[in-house]
Amino acid sequence: MLPTDGVMCFPGQTWEKVLSKVKKAVVFMDDRCSESLHWNGGAALLFEAGARNIKQFSSFEAGGQNEPKAVFVVSTVLKGKTADIIKDIISLSRFQYCVVFTAIPHSIHLLANNVTTDLEGNSVFEQFEEKLCEWMGDMNYTAEVMHAPVVFAPLTQHLHLLPAFSDLFPLLEVDLESINEKRPEKRRFGSLMDVDTHSLSPELQIQIKSLTSAINTLFEFIGTREESFSVGPMSRLIAGELASHPQAKNRRKSAPNKASVVFIDRTLDRTGAVGHHGDSLVEKILSGLPQLPGHVTDIQVDMLELTHLKQTTDNKGILAPGCLAQNQSATARLLWETMLVAKQKEAVMEVRRQLVEAASKENLPIKMSLGRVTAEQLCSYVQLFRDSWGALESHSGVLQLGLAAAQALRHPALPCWDACLAFERLLLQALGDLDLAEVLKQLLPLIKSSEPETGSDSSSGSGELSVDDLLVLLVYVYSMAQEACPGGAEQEKHVEKVENELIGALTLRLTQQTSLSPLLQEITGVSGPEELTVERAHSALENVFEMLRGVCHARDPLKHFSSVYTPSDGAHQATYRPLLKQVLEEIFHPDRRECPDVEHMSGGLTDLLKTGFSMFMKVTRPHPSDHPLLFLFLVGGVTPSELRLIRDVVSTHKSGTQVLVMSTRLLRPCDVPHLLFSIDRLKPDIGV
């Protein structure tokens, strides 16, 4: 089996262990594992394997009277909150047989329990088995605890996400200050590049080790020896952890295949992540349509068009939603892959073509029309299927994707998307002509002119910008500010003055809201506008601007990739140069140049000796383009536009290297403020 085929098989393979245990069981699963299962075949896999029921992993759930067997599938450590929920469920049930699967390996459970020595066997798991029997009420009942790395979600052949790590985000300057506060003055770190794994919180150490363990398991499965490279401080920690992974040494001695893996920090380029690209259909689908409950990536597709029901408040929610994950149909899978990486015009034309083809196969009375594809046209094609149950069932995957495209194209938030795109283009040009203070001043009228919103959706259809949208625009500006507007001390005072004006205007906007979006609830720490005082809003926004100032300096340690901004030269407008494109062009450069920002991470003595010998003799250092397979791992998320960029750069260089992308999440513009302003990056939730 080729390594690339193995990568595609591996996520499904991780579920085999779980499937072998679910017969006649009620299955309790947390959101992150549910999302992985969703992209690997969904609940049907469990039911086909004999599961009786699937329930949310929650203290408010329990097994029925006649359900003696339970299987728990969790992405977290088996202690604290996770253990409490398992205990609550068992206490409310009548189980006699419990199986617990955790995505965290036993070696990391030892770390979580402060056990430094490498104990024989699976002592932590065995102790938890005893607890399970205790909670079931009889020590003679059966309990099993084991590890299954069910963390991979294969969105396409070339893109795998790890939903369990969706909130893992590279550290910022403010996080460095928090780390240094707990260290003696003489031992404080000068920059994020100096931080080592041992100086991180136990929670973050566990998350990084869990991630590298999952990647190591994948490389074991595909029989591959990897060379690890990093771009950025967090990537450096992850790549270093993978290079020195204790179980990887034997694998590297005997693995028949070779690959390079390059980790890249998302924080080094947030411009592309918050940009409202005009030519990506999937970015509009992800941003416009509501998310599936408990999911980070997939969305809900309204299936009303496939019925004769009229939209009323009475029938709202009676239809199960459609989604983007189509595992049953090869045609739908290919359509989804096209939609993900093609430009919007090509994507909607492919959606129309597939709908026409499906209707023709079923002899449905389709009226062909050429020219621009509209949402109404796509809906009219979908509606042809609603009177034929057989046709609807045969083509349900294509129909769901067709409806997702139509609903995005006619979404009321589209004018707002276009307005954000227009503002970004104006700001991009302004950054080259004005100093940062003057650029920020251009946002003041936007804040003051917009009406208070009545909900989290920034889309009354008028193109008015919500507070969420304004935060996204601020991230866009600050992400390029350092290289576009390098100012002195005098300018810094000027910027600070304008920032205070912005904080004041945004505070006023916040306190006028009639409801708060999820992002604003996270940032302010309140659940509704009635709880939001002026002081609280002002303090929350001061923290936001402190974070934004740190965003400015994320690329400071880089020598080669220190800028993503090209100023106007009179003949050409200012442009944004994606960092990912710069990294790939450096990797595939025919001269195989050494780049100081792409750091090779080694965990072996041989490599250290090589480095020493290279002072006296010519030793070729490993290069990311050495091997036929390259894994790009974007720590903190990847956008659909970047997936197309990767495909285009690889195809232009005709290098013969196959590139597979891995990431923690598929990004929408609004995800970045969440990751920057409202999560605790130093203490991620590991279920404890």
Say whether both 426 and 331 belong to one domain: no
Find the CATH number of the domain harbouring 11.
3.40.50.2060
> Quick check: is 323 in a domain?
yes
Closest CA to 93 of 18, 48, 27, 37: 27
Give the DSSP letter of residue 67: -
Q: What is the DSSP string of 562-587?
A: ---EE---SSS--EE--HHHHHHHHH
**Taking the model in full, what pTM does it have?**
0.92
Say whether both 425 and 403 belong to one domain: no
Q: Which residue has the tokens 């974070």?
A: 547
Of 100, 127, 148, the residue at which a domain comes to its end is 148
Closest CA to 592 of 550, 632, 615, 621: 621
Say whether both 260 and 342 belong to one domain: no
Give pLDDT, residue 327.
84
Of 117, 148, 179, the residue at which a domain comes to its end is 148
> Quick check: is 344 in a domain?
yes
Say whether both 606 and 499 belong to one domain: no
Distance CA 572, CA 238 (A): 39
Say whether both 111 and 176 belong to one domain: no
Say whether both 164 and 98 belong to one domain: no
Say whether both 541 and 444 belong to one domain: yes
Domain count, the chain: 4
- Ranges under pLDDT 50 in the chain: 452-462, 605-611
Say whether both 238 and 296 belong to one domain: no
Say whether both 186 and 137 belong to one domain: no
Q: How far is CA 427 from the centre of its chain?
A: 27
Give pLDDT, residue 4.
84
> Quick check: is 571 in a domain?
no
> Quick check: is 562 in a domain?
no
Closest CA to 473 of 522, 431, 521, 518: 431
Per-residue pLDDT of 301-353, as tens digits, reads 999 888 888 777 776 778 889 999 998 889 999 999 999 999 999 999 999 99
Give the DSSP letter of residue 291: B
Distance CA 21, CA 99 (A): 8
> Quick check: is 274 in a domain?
no
Say whether both 394 and 418 belong to one domain: no
Say whether both 9 and 118 belong to one domain: yes
Say whether both 603 and 544 belong to one domain: no
Find the CATH number of the domain harbouring 609.
3.40.50.1910
| Distance separating the N- and C-terminal Cα atoms of the chain | 39
Structure tokens at 612: 């020493």
> Quick check: is 561 in a domain?
no
Of 363, 393, 410, the residue at which a domain comes to its end is 410
Altogether, the residues listed in the chain come to a count of 688
Residues spanned by the domain of 256: 154-269+578-678
What are the DSSP E strand ranges found in 24-109?
A: 26-29, 53-56, 69-74, 97-102
Tell me the CA distances in angstroms from 400 to 339, 366, 461, one per residue in order: 13, 18, 24
> Quick check: is 534 in a domain?
yes
How many helices and strands (H and E) does the chain possess? Answer: 28, 14
> Is 155 in a helix, a strand, or coil?
strand
Closest CA to 645 of 571, 599, 578: 578
> Quick check: is 158 in a domain?
yes
Task: Please check whether residue 263 is in contact with residue 229, taking contact to mean a CB–CB distance below 8 angstroms.
Answer: yes
Closest CA to 410 of 289, 316, 297: 289
Q: Where are the alpha helices (DSSP H) in 289-395?
A: 330-341, 344-361, 375-383, 389-394
